[in-house]
């Protein structure tokens, strides 16, 4: 098995070029959850913060229906500035264990990973590669394939998804921003086809929406102030006095209203 793996990796390293043939799309998506067995679901999350939260994180998962044996690479981009500012990123590199041998580690997912270049509005080139060591992301690493029952330790059985990465951000202002994922020339999802040629994969990327809203206490105080201004006893008394001054519901002149207000003051 190790000899076969080595032959594949050598073929990938020395292949003539990178084919750009779309494969079946996978789902790469955001989640607020970053633990295996934590109940992660495939959706586009909407995350609500207040300024008091200070910071947050979003995790990136891939459904286990596509292989990326050679590399993964991505950029995470915020649609606007002034709401969040990225502070870091990490591509995970868990052990590959053999359930046949009682969960003993026999490999790793990647030979190397890079957390990315961090900018306020994006994290670029969150990359990972497997050449001589590492299995990459493969559907067979779900702990069910005989004889060795290999399992990626960050594979969530219930969700059928693999935890890929995480991005961290600081909360800097009120507003809404949308996070997206894309590929570029040095940040790609790449598999190896049956001819041992590296083939770019085009996942179906999800999005995440981050909303930063005012503190609930601030909203409550503003609302309370409005209610007090409308229903305070002297307001009610003044309203009743103005009505009594009107003749048969005829609207009061501006001078009458102004004169009454001067008397009140």
Q: What is the pLDDT of residues 146-181, one digit of tens each?
A: 999 999 999 999 999 999 999 999 999 999 999 999
Q: Whole-model pTM?
A: 0.75
Contact 26, 138 (CB under 8 A): no
| pLDDT tens track for 116-149 | 999 999 999 999 999 889 999 999 999 999 999 9
Contact 116, 135 (CB under 8 A): no
Distance between CA atoms of residues 90 and 3, nearest Å: 31
Contact 59, 165 (CB under 8 A): yes
Q: Which of the four pLDDT bands, split at 50, 70 and 90, describes residue 261?
A: very low
Indicate the pairing of strand 208-213 with strand 46-50.
parallel
Mean pLDDT for the stretch of residues 179-185:
92
pLDDT of residue 263 exceeding 90: no
Contacts of 128 (CB under 8 A, 6+ apart): 71, 72, 73, 91, 93, 109, 110, 112, 113, 114
Looking from the CA of 71 toward its CB, the CA atoms found within 13 Å total 24
User: Angle formed by the axes of helices 233-245 and 254-264, to 10°?
Assistant: 140
Structure tokens at 205: 């990327």
Distance between CA atoms of residues 44 and 58, nearest Å: 11
- pLDDT averaged over the chain? 81
Structure tokens at 79: 């649609």
pLDDT of residue 82 exceeding 50: yes
Helix (H, G, I), strand (E, B) or coil at 200: strand
The phi and psi torsions of 222 (rounded to 5 degrees) equal -65, -45
């Amino acid at each position: 098995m190790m000899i076969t793996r080595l032959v594949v990796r050598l073929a990938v390293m020395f292949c003539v070029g990178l084919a750009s043939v779309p494969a079946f799309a996978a789902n790469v998506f955001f989640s607020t959850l970053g633990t295996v067995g934590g109940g992660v679901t495939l959706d586009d999350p909407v995350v609500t913060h207040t300024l008091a939260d200070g910071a947050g994180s979003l995790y990136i998962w891939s459904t286990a229906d596509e292989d990326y044996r050679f590399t993964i690479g991505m950029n995470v981009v915020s649609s606007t500035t002034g709401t969040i500012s990225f502070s870091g990123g990490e591509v995970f590199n868990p052990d590959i264990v053999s359930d046949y041998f009682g969960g003993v580690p026999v490999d790793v997912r990647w030979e190397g990973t890079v957390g990315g270049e961090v900018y306020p509005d994006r994290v670029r080139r969150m990359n990972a590669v497997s050449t001589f060591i590492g299995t990459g992301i493969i559907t067979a690493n779900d702990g069910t394939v005989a004889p060795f029952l290999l399992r990626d330790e960050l594979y969530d059985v219930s969700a059928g998804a693999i935890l890929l990465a995480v991005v961290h951000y600081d909360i800097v202002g009120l507003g809404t921003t949308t996070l997206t994922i894309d590929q570029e020339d040095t940040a790609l999802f790449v598999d190896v086809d049956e001819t041992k040629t590296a083939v770019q994969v085009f996942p179906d990327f999800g999005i995440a929406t981050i909303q930063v809203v005012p503190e609930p206490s601030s909203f409550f105080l503003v609302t309370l102030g409005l209610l007090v201004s409308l229903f305070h006893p002297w307001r009610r008394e003044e309203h009743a006095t103005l009505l009594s001054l009107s003749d048969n519901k005829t609207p009061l002149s501006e001078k009458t209203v102004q004169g009454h207000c001067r008397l009140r003051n």
